Chain A
Amino acid sequence: MNEEQVWILQAQRGDDDAFTKLVETYQRPVYNLCYRMLGEPEYAEDAAQETFLRAYRNIGRYDINRPFATWLLSIAAHYCIDRLRRRRLPTFSMDAETDEGYEIEIPDVSAPNPEAEAARSEQREQIHQLVQSLDSTDRAAIVLRYWYDFSEVEIAESLSLTVPAVKSRLHRARRALAKKWEDSSAQTGMERMPYETPAF
């Protein structure tokens, strides 16, 4: 039994300090999921706090044989989907992340020059905005796939979908993102020249 499982068992017995350790361990992935889902730091903070409250209330029902991260992120994803369905959230400014969020900037030692790094940063902003335009469940599937490396089976379990449905949603979402990416690139004059294909 690892340290995390010990904390979980202690939390299930009502130990608040053990649950706080779980909060400290998982605050970043939960907050990040909420931020990617809701797009705004204030909403993300509120959703992440609510996720942990729900987890606290339901920790007794958690099956220790399942990965805790999957269970917790599933709660967060469902909460964000419900919240997006309940109210229409506005489209957010591209500056939101730098204004309020705390993006973990890891210097890219492989960056050939600062311009390339700046372009990548701009791409990250652009993709964040495009992800906000997706349907809430598609958005959750994309976030779990790319930010958490969840397999299609794990996404299906987390979002209460079938594996073929997840596959179909991921395909649809990526096609939609690519279309918007192409359109926005054309609009901003940042269109990549045909010979400048991405490296694989």
Chain B
Amino acid sequence: MKHRPFEDWLLNDERLTPEQKRELQTHLRGCRACTALAEVNLALRSARGVAPAPGFAARFQSRLAAQRALQRRRMAVGATVLTVGGLAILSILLWPFVAVAVQNPTDFLVSWALTFAAISGWIEALVQAGAVIGRVIPSFVPPYGWMILFSAVSGLVLLWGVSFWRFTRVPRHA
């Protein structure tokens, strides 16, 4: 018989009939490659498990505690760096204003008052424009237009809600 079926039997760990076993034994007497394959299979099957040194679980607990302590240290260092960095950036950004305020406080206060007044004026204008549009628009939009608009907005809100839920939900067994 040919070499191939015997190699396949060995590679696929096939269950052999008594007749096939006899044929395989006969083949193995003359085929070194298949003999090596059969020996490797037997050696692998007879391999035993190796256990860790005693106290593995205790070492794990120590490692876990060390890991947590390291994590806490990292968080503390991170929070400190962020706070100090944020304060430094804020100081750099505010420094021109602070310098002006220190050198000439009257001019500084006047310029800020003018800026505040300008912003207030813009907001008031926008509110008035909005009120006018709010009074005029409804007379131009038919009732079914409002229904379409309401449905579209509801759909978008629902889509946003579902997406938010899917991305933020905690796994069932967490």
Contact = CB atoms under 8 A, between A and B. Distances in A.
B143 to A, nearest CB: 51
B60 A102 contact: no
Interface stretch (A69-77, A79-87, A154-162, A175-183): A175-183
A24 B49 contact: no
Contact of B49 (A12, A29, A49, A171): A29
Contacts of B24: 200
B48 A181 contact: no
B51 A123 contact: no
Interface string B28-53: 11101101111111111111111111
Contact of B60 (A52, A61, A130, A146): A52
Contacts of B16: 200
Interface in B37-91: 37-54, 56-57, 59-61, 63-64, 67
A198 B39 contact: yes
Interface string A100-116: 11111110000000000
B171 interface: yes
Interface in B91-114: none
Interface residues of A, number: 60
Contacts of B120: none
A20 B48 contact: no
A23 interface: yes
Contacts of B57: 20, 23-24, 27
Task: Name the residue in A102, A120, A195 with the highest tally of chain B Cβ atoms < 10 Å from its Cβ.
Answer: A102
A27 B63 CA distance: 15
A103 B50 contact: yes
A27 B41 CA distance: 26
B56 A124 contact: no
B3 interface: no
A95 interface: no
Contacts of B40: 127, 130, 174, 177-178, 181
Nearest to A29: B49
Interface of A: 9, 12, 16, 20, 23-24, 27-29, 31-32, 35-36, 41, 44-45, 48-49, 52-53, 56, 60-64, 97, 100-106, 120, 123-124, 126-128, 130, 142, 146-147, 170-171, 174-175, 177-179, 181-182, 185, 192, 194-195, 197-198, 200
Interface of B: 10-11, 16, 21, 24-25, 28-30, 32-33, 35-54, 56-57, 59-61, 63-64, 67, 170-171, 173-174
Given A48-B56, A182-B36, 19 more contacts: A16-B64, A20-B60, A27-B57, A31-B56, A32-B51, A52-B60, A60-B174, A63-B173, A102-B53, A120-B46, A127-B43, A146-B44, A174-B41, A177-B44, A178-B36, A179-B33, A194-B32, A195-B29, A200-B21
